[in-house]
């Protein structure tokens, strides 16, 4: 590495091991906290994601994800909730039905517009977190959720610091990330520039500790759900190869790729909303996953890591600083 590199999870420097290289990105592992991250850490921006996610925007996945169920079931109380990186607002709609006063923010205007149309929600916003405070007139939230977001960020610790300012003193932060060791193979989108980081329990814990959060609960998703997603993933590989858009890191505009902009046309999107191809795919492939899971399960772990955290109290910070000072005194 030509320049000084800092781990985006724990802040360690110069304690890394090279893993692999993809295009202009090197992927390295922090030997302090076990986080794998991209060098450089460079997010491609909203326009890139709108192009890379063209199929997702055309065929919205309205299924209630495992981490949605877990978050609603695990939170101790209802209240004002903000979902950061809400996409089309599927969880915002789910949380409202569960009794939360739920709001959502996403950088993608296309996703927000699709969610407003789908769920008739007036609580979905684009813009900055500060702008959401102004629009909702809510200074701090009881709950902040952020599902499948951290792996896309070039500065996860700065993100958590910003989130902390919007969270009440006794509020809860709920996060999910893809688990680095979920499958025996690497997903083709689990590379930069799409995913800039790969997380384990150890690296996720280190990130939250270094960001002054206390972890209340952390767990893996179910193995069967992970394997079911893998079976669907095999179909996804087939589809992407047929369209000519299969590539590590979801690199867009590959030579020879089929022009799939037709998927954005209102007529096609309406037809897809009626046919529900994701639902049909899941129904058809579920029996395959169920029948083959007893053979495959030793090689699969939960697809996601799910975490609930709270801001560390001032007393806790003082105790930690006192312990650090005592340790330094003892060593001297």
**114/253 Cα distance (integer angstroms):** 24
pLDDT tens-digit series, residues 299-312: 999 999 999 999 98
Question: 295: helix, coil or strand?
Answer: helix
pTM summary value: 0.87
Name the pairing type of β-strands 167-178 and 304-311.
Answer: antiparallel
User: Is residue 326's pLDDT more than 50?
Assistant: no
Digit-coded pLDDT (tens) for 91-111: 999 999 999 999 999 988 888
Confidence tier at 128 by pLDDT (50, 70, 90):
very high
Residue 314 confidence class, pLDDT cut points 50, 70, 90: low
Q: What token pair was written down for 304?
A: 């996601």
d(CA 143, CA 63): 22
Does position 14 have pLDDT exceeding 90, yes or no? no
**Residue range 182-208: mean pLDDT, rounded:** 96
- What CA–CA distance (Å, rounded) separates 66 from 222? 8
Q: Tokens 């065929």 appear where?
A: 59
**pLDDT-derived band at 256, boundaries 50, 70, 90:** low
Average of per-residue pLDDT across 30-45: 94
User: How far apart are the C-alpha atoms of 80 and 255, rounded to whole Å?
Assistant: 47
Q: Is the pLDDT of residue 156 over 90?
A: yes
- The span from the CA of 128 to the CA of 106, in Å, is 9
| Other Cβ atoms within 10 Å of 205 Cβ, number | 21
Look at residues 213, 215, 216 and name the one whose alpha carbon lies nearest to residue 313: 213
Q: Is the pLDDT of residue 290 over 80?
A: yes
The pLDDT tens digits for 52-73 are: 666 665 567 788 999 999 999 9
CATH number for domain 42-323, candidates 3.30.70.260, 3.40.50.2000, 3.40.50.150, 3.10.450.50:
3.40.50.150
């Amino acid at each position: 590495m030509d320049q000084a590199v800092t781990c985006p999870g724990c802040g360690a420097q110069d304690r890394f091991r090279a893993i692999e290289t993809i295009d202009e990105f090197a992927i390295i592992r922090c030997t302090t906290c076990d986080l794998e991250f991209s060098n450089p850490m460079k997010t491609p921006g909203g326009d890139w994601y709108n192009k890379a996610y063209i199929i997702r925007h055309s065929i919205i996945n309205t299924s209630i994800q495992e981490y949605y169920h877990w978050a609603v079931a695990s939170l101790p109380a209802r209240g004002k909730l903000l979902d950061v990186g809400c996409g089309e607002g599927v969880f915002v709609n789910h949380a409202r039905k569960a009794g939360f006063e739920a709001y959502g923010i996403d950088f993608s205007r296309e996703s927000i517009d699709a969610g407003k149309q789908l769920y008739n929600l007036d609580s979905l916003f684009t813009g900055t977190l500060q702008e959401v405070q102004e629009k909702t007139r809510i200074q701090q939230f009881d709950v902040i959720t952020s599902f499948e977001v951290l792996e896309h960020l070039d500065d996860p610790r700065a993100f958590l610091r910003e989130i902390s300012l919007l969270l009440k003193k006794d509020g809860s932060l709920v996060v999910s990330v893809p688990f680095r060791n979920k499958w025996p193979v690497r997903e083709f989108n689990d590379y930069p520039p799409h995913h800039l980081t790969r997380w384990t329990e150890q690296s996720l814990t280190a990130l939250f500790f270094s960001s002054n959060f206390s972890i209340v609960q952390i767990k893996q998703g179910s193995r069967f759900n992970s394997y079911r997603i893998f079976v669907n993933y095999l179909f996804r590989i087939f589809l992407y190869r047929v369209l000519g858009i299969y590539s590590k890191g979801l690199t867009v505009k590959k030579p020879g790729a089929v022009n799939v902009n037709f998927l954005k046309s209102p007529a096609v999107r309406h037809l897809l909303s009626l046919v529900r191809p994701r639902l049909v795919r899941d129904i058809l492939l579920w029996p395959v996953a169920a029948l083959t899971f007893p053979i495959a399960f030793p090689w699969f772990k939960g697809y996601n890591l799910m975490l609930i955290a709270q801001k560390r109290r001032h007393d806790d910070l003082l105790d930690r600083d006192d312990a650090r000072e005592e340790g330094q005194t003892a060593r001297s």
